[in-house]
């Protein structure tokens, strides 16, 4: 006999849906769709931010979205939002089977405390390294964050999206028995039918924000290093950000204007991935990059920095290549190795990349494990929780 459908409340301390994407926002949308496809019910709770949709109640992909208003006044606005969140959760305490909080910040602390008081299952997700290094879980954080940390410790379960984050979370006083290493989910079917030219040369693609932590200046320098020996190679940069103009100037200064395409923000990510043969993820810090998962799901071998998340999915020489973050020479060596392979060899590695993501982060697998957690069960181990392979 099938268990009754669950009703899950997704809590996100951000605008939803995000106008131009966003890791946590994108994951909420992916999981909501995945849960609904399995016959489950989902509601999303967010603050009504100034830059974002203003409807108090709306539907996104058929999912109800409740937005809590609060005054835009320092301190008073925060307290108002915390009280409004508390009132919402208390009034609707019998409506939801579980609360899944997608950023371990102040609203997550309120959910964890109330969940303990109301006997509600609460799953807190550590969505990025920011929470561990500068936010509520960081050593030596401010008084407000320390207070939030005391509340967060009452969460019944924790989702860490990489093995490294799970290990770090355990060092911050969270019991290992409550931590589950469960990656972001990706709809692999979105990319199943992509077709590339069989003789496509080495065309690298980066997708993401053009900010300092993405280390795109190092990427451009490394690409310049391989151009003399790989004259058919090109680089596609998809995204915008504060560093776009300096990066364009850097490319022009290095004489790479005809070899590097700045595509800007694009909504047709599938088409962009289809126009490339090798993915690049060169950040200095990440939790787990959604674009890494999407690029691999699209059948691209990955050149990736050896950081949280990347090291769980990229296996050197099998489905991609790893280098130390910020290492220009190491990045150039990996790019040269990728550019040296024949199109057939790159496609073979890309097929392995697609299989890796489907096995470890396919939406069906991730949603099944989340449903077990929502019901208070311990989800079984998967590849991302096993000891890492030597590279």
- 262 CB burial (10 A radius; 0-12, 13-18, 19+): middle
Which pLDDT score, from 0 to 100, does residue 287 have? 86
Q: Is the pLDDT reported for residue 390 higher than 80?
A: no
Instruction: Please give the distance of CA 146 from its chain centroid, rounded to a whole number.
Output: 25
Which pLDDT score, from 0 to 100, does residue 379 have? 53
> Cα dihedral sign for 18, 71, 44, 141?
positive
Which pLDDT score, from 0 to 100, does residue 377 have? 84
Q: Is the pLDDT reported for residue 175 higher than 70?
A: yes
Which pLDDT score, from 0 to 100, does residue 388 have? 44
Are the C-beta atoms of 297 and 319 separated by less than 8 Å?
no
Which pLDDT score, from 0 to 100, does residue 275 have? 95
**Would strands 57-60 and 63-68 be described as parallel, antiparallel, or unpaired?**
antiparallel
Quote the percentage of the chain above a pLDDT of 90.
Answer: 85
Q: What is the mean pLDDT of residues 254-268?
A: 95
Quote the percentage of the chain above a pLDDT of 70.
Answer: 95
Are the C-beta atoms of 357 and 383 separated by less than 8 Å?
no
Gap between the Cα atoms of 328 and 86, Å rounded:
49
Helix (H) or strand (E) holding 321: strand 320-323
Are the C-beta atoms of 362 and 293 separated by less than 8 Å?
no
pLDDT digits (tens, 9 = 90+) for 76-131: 999 999 999 999 999 999 999 999 999 999 999 999 999 999 999 999 999 888 88
Q: What is the mean pLDDT of residues 311-334?
A: 97
In degrees, to the nearest 5, what angle opens at C-alpha 311 toward C-alphas 310 and 314? 75
Domains of the chain are 7-185+362-385 (3.40.50.2000), 188-360 (3.40.50.2000)
Gap between the Cα atoms of 41 and 44, Å rounded:
10
Which pLDDT score, from 0 to 100, does residue 382 have? 46
Which pLDDT score, from 0 to 100, does residue 198 have? 87
Q: Is the pLDDT reported for residue 249 higher than 90?
A: yes
pLDDT digits (tens, 9 = 90+) for 327-384: 999 999 999 999 999 999 999 999 999 999 999 999 999 999 999 999 998 654 444 4
Alpha helices in the chain (DSSP H): 23-37, 76-91, 106-118, 129-133, 143-152, 163-171, 216-226, 244-253, 269-274, 290-297, 310-313, 328-340, 343-361, 363-374
Mean pLDDT, all residues of the chain: 93
Q: What is the mean pLDDT of residues 27-45?
A: 96
Provide the whole-model pTM. Answer: 0.90
* Residue 343, token pair as written in the block: 């199109």
Helix (H) or strand (E) holding 9: strand 7-11
Which pLDDT score, from 0 to 100, does residue 127 have? 85
Q: Is the pLDDT reported for residue 23 higher than 90?
A: no
Residue keyed to tokens 């709770």: 45
Integer angstrom CA distances of residue 204 from 26, 299, 307, 317 = 24, 13, 20, 17
């Amino acid at each position: 006999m099938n268990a009754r459908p669950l009703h899950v409340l997704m809590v996100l301390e951000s605008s939803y849906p995000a106008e131009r994407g966003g890791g946590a926002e994108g994951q909420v949308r992916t999981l909501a769709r995945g849960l609904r496809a399995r016959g489950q019910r989902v509601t999303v709770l967010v603050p009504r931010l100034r830059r974002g949709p203003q409807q108090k109640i709306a539907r996104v992909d058929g999912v109800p979205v409740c937005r809590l208003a609060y005054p835009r006044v320092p301190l008073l606005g925060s307290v108002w939002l915390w009280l409004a969140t508390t009132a919402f959760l208390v009034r609707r305490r019998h409506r939801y089977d579980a609360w899944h909080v997608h950023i371990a910040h102040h609203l997550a602390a309120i959910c964890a405390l109330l969940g303990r008081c109301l006997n509600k299952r609460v799953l807190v997700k550590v969505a990025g390294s920011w929470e561990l290094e500068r936010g509520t879980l960081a050593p030596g954080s401010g008084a407000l964050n320390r207070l939030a940390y005391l509340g967060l410790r009452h969460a019944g379960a924790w989702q860490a999206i990489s093995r490294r984050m799970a290990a770090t979370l355990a060092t911050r006083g969270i019991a290992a028995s409550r931590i589950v290493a469960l990656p972001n989910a990706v709809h692999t079917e979105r990319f199943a039918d992509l077709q590339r030219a069989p003789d496509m040369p080495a065309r690298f693609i980066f997708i993401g924000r053009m900010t300092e932590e993405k280390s795109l200046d190092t990427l451009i320098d490394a690409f310049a290093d391989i151009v003399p020996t790989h004259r058919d190679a090109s680089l596609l940069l998809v995204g915008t950000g504060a560093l776009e103009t300096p990066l364009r100037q850097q490319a022009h200064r290095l004489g790479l204007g005809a070899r590097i395409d700045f595509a800007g923000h694009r909504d047709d990510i599938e088409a962009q991935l289809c126009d490339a043969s090798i993915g690049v993820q060169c950040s200095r810090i990440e939790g787990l990059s959604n674009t890494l998962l999407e690029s691999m799901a699209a059948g691209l071998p990955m050149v990736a920095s050896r950081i949280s998340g990347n090291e769980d999915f990229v296996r050197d020489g099998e489905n991609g290549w790893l280098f130390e973050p910020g290492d220009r020479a190491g990045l150039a060596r990996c790019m040269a190795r990728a550019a040296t392979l024949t199109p057939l060899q790159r496609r073979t590695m890309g097929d392995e990349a697609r299989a890796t993501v489907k096995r470890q982060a396919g939406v069906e697998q991730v949603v099944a494990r989340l449903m077990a957690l929502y019901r208070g069960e311990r989800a079984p181990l998967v590849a991302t929780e096993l000891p890492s392979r030597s590279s």
